[in-house]
Amino acid sequence: MSRAILDWIVTSGINTATSDPGKPWQNGTDESFNGKLRDECLSMEWFRSREEAKVVIETWRRHYNAVRPHSSLGYQTPNEFKEALTLSTQQGASL
């Protein structure tokens, strides 16, 4: 699969300057999130249907973004961080 993706990227003329050569899907932030999703949600559940999986994953996503503080964001939730960033950007634009 990864070879097919790499071939498609090369054929499409997509530059991957910010990734390791031959590994355009590598991203530390994405890998960290994927690990948390797997460890905190997917590995903890046994899904009986696709609908059940959608509900459980959406519940986890909402908790991850609105309730769970992240040390990398100064112990704010992603929603709080985004709100503070938006507010500071708006205030900076009005100066």
Tens-place pLDDT, residues 19-72: 565 565 667 777 788 889 999 999 999 999 999 999 999 999 999 999 999 999
Write the single-letter amino acid at 3. Answer: R
Q: What is the DSSP letter of 23?
A: B
Query: 69: phi > 0 → left, psi -120 to 50 → alpha, else beta; which?
Result: beta
Q: Is 22 helix (H, G, I), strand (E, B) or coil?
A: coil
What are the backbone dihedrals phi and psi of residue 54, each rounded to the nearest 5 degrees, phi first?
-60, -45
pLDDT at 56: 96
pTM above 0.75, yes or no: no
Q: What is the DSSP letter of 43?
A: G
pLDDT at 14: 81
